[in-house]
Amino acid sequence: MPVKLPARPGKPPAQAVDNRVFDLLSLTMAMVLALHASHLPWWLTTALAVTLGWRWWQRRQRAGRVPRWLKLPLLALLTLAVVVSYGSIFGRAPGSALAVGLLVLKLLESETPRDVRVGVSFACFALMAALLFDQGLLLTVMVAVGLLPALATLRALEPAAPETTLPVALRSNLGLLAAAIPLALLGFLLVPRLSTPLWGAPAADQARTGLSDTMSPGNFTELLVDDHPAMRVSFDGTPPPPDLRYFRAYVMWDYDGRSWHHLAPGQRDRRAVAAIDVGSSISYRISLEPTHQRVLPALDVPLQAPPQAQLQPDREVVADKPVNHALHYQLRSALRYRLQPTLDARSRRLGLQLPAGFNPRSRALAEQWRQRYGNDDAAIVRAALTLFHDGGFRYTLTPAPLGRNAVDDFLFSTREGFCEHYASAFTVLMREAGIPARVVTGFQGGYWNTMGHYLLVRYSDAHAWSEVWLKGRGWVRADPTAAVRPERVTLGAAAAAGDQLPWYRRDWLQGARNRWDIVNRWWNQGVTGFNALRQRGLLTPFGIRDTDTTTLGVLLALGSVLFIAIGMAWALLQRRPRDPLREALHQLERTLARQGIVRRAGEGPQNYLLRAARALPACREELALLMKSYLELRYAHDEPPTEPLRAFRRAVRNFRVVRVV
């Protein structure tokens, strides 16, 4: 029995929606919360989920709005929580958190059809807001799926909506989404695009490269388990072997005893670009994910910079502007080379400087090597790499903390760490032995996708290594991590971290993830990368070089008219559903027409049967009864009840005209 809610002053009492509608509304809001959970604080997600579940349970016990004395404190608590967590209610992340919270609180007062419609509209907006954080294929499909319970909720509010199970209610709305795909595709292609979003491109809260101009042992930890793609590299010809897949980002000279730092802009600008003798080179193209930094990773060692970027003295590539959107650039790099064969005095001084009063045991070890090998710098380098290979060192993502003398603690005590620890300790040893050395950070390795013919480099492929300057050879790459864990270079980061992350090393999981990336690449290129520039070239295959806004508008209008015409034709050609009540009335009309009583155009069934009763006095009572039954069946119910309908059809079949003589 429908529940009447308390009436507001001057308004009639509203009828509460049934449990089926409320369940669908709750499911809609649960979908919104699930899609936003990845960027909401865990405690806020948990609190909103508990609130939603409690409201659903409470509504099952008794219909009615939650008292205002409870809603207002919850609203104030939500606002306070967002402000404390984000520092403001303005912005993409805090705005989304507040919107999702308000949506869940809206459920506390959702009782009438109007409340439900408002809640569904708000939920659809919140669903679209999830795309501000991620526009990948998987999330886009999930947002589309999230529309199913919203559509099912609106259809359940229809007066004649039949009682159905939840799977049937959701499945029936798939047709609505499918019917919208052609028009959505038309709008995607032809609605004129702005060069930047109308709301201004919302910058991400945090750069995701994990690379910065500072490196301290331990700050790569989160990055090394981040499995998101960092960039994709396509080569002209055969890709380089795994041991040459080093991508240079930052070159670091300054060391303060704990951290390595990139040279200040003024120090870099006073130096010329390092000379290079090229042995072999390769051309390639990089699709870089947004990093919100200016550095552009390049295969070691780049020979030039792409447009709108500069080649720095240490052969780093730096863009003129931060990379806030996916960037595609082409480069050529040397695989075999001699980098800076002649070292100037200033670079030598930078490559040997060390802070005083740190790591005495490391300094003593380096002096022993110098005494043993004399001026043979290459032999000292080999001795250091042998130490890492044979000295009982262990590659781990959870190393023990280090003290003030970080290198001494690492070399002689903990002997565990990952690439940052090894690169830092090796570089310090080289400088203490009098060999110019520096740290380089970037990426190493990647997965070669044979289907897409590109190298997939993930954030977890971030790496740090060293460069030492040797007479006659220039700057030479030395990777101490490879001495400790060779599979880090030959098999990739997943193999090196396999003992800490056994799930990560499973072949089937890695294969599935890497193959799925080709779908993501297509999506990024064809959908998220479809910008204003590509839209202007949309009609190039048809001989139109620049598609202006007017042309797009005309095509959009023509396409919309065409789709409307197709939809109307489809609707007109559809067979109308069988109407047994109308068929029975037509049978009665044919019986009366044989007696000369023909129904006039525009004459309603009531007036027609009254006229027939006047013309046939002997059948007046029977016709009056048929008229009353028809009107009740047609207008008193959403669908005619089965038994009364059968009785009416039986009465029509048995009707016989009797004339008075």
> C-alpha 646: how far from its chain's center?
56
> C-alpha 288: how far from its chain's center?
16
Write the CB contacts of 632 (distance below 8 Å, at least 6 apart in sequence): 644
Cα angle 431-435-436, degrees, rounded to a multiple of 5: 80
CA–CA gap between residue 389 and residue 421 (Å, rounded):
14
Domain spans, the chain: 19-172, 178-195+531-574, 214-354+437-508, 580-653
- Taking only the tens place, the pLDDT of each residue in 325-334 is 888 999 999 9
Q: Among the options 23, 479, 517, 619, which is catalytic?
A: 479
For residue 206, what pLDDT is reported? 40
CA–CA gap between residue 470 and residue 315 (Å, rounded):
18
Bridge partners, residue 456, by sequence? 232, 447
Answer yes or no: is pLDDT of 499 > 60: no
Region 398-410: mean pLDDT is: 87
Answer yes or no: is pLDDT of 457 > 80: yes
Q: With helix as H, strand as E and coil as C, how does 25-53 read?
A: HHHHHHHHHHHHHHHCCHHHHHHHHHHHH
3-state SS, residue 243: helix
Q: Among the options 36, 463, 517, 619, which is catalytic?
A: 463
- Taking only the tens place, the pLDDT of each residue in 66-106 is 888 888 888 889 889 888 888 888 888 888 899 999 999 98
461 classed as catalytic? no
3-state SS, residue 442: strand
Pairing verdict, β 260-262 and 276-288: unpaired
Bridge partners, residue 255, by sequence? 260
Q: With helix as H, strand as E and coil as C, how does 553-607 read?
A: HHHHHHHHHHHHHHHHHHHHHCCCCCCHHHHHHHHHHHHHHCCCCCCCCCCCHHH
For residue 31, what pLDDT is reported? 93
3-state SS, residue 656: coil
For residue 631, what pLDDT is reported? 87
Q: Among the options 419, 421, 461, 517, which is catalytic?
A: 419
- Taking only the tens place, the pLDDT of each residue in 329-371 is 999 999 999 999 999 898 999 999 999 989 999 999 999 999 9
- Which pTM does this prediction carry? 0.65
479 classed as catalytic? yes
For residue 203, what pLDDT is reported? 42
Region 559-583: mean pLDDT is: 80
419 classed as catalytic? yes
Answer yes or no: is pLDDT of 11 > 60: no
Percent of the chain with pLDDT strictly greater than 90: 31
Answer yes or no: is pLDDT of 475 > 50: yes
Answer yes or no: is pLDDT of 637 > 60: yes
Answer yes or no: is pLDDT of 633 > 60: yes
What integer best gives the mean pLDDT of the chain? 83
What confidence category does residue 618 fall into, taking pLDDT thresholds of 50, 70 and 90?
confident
Answer yes or no: is pLDDT of 205 > 80: no
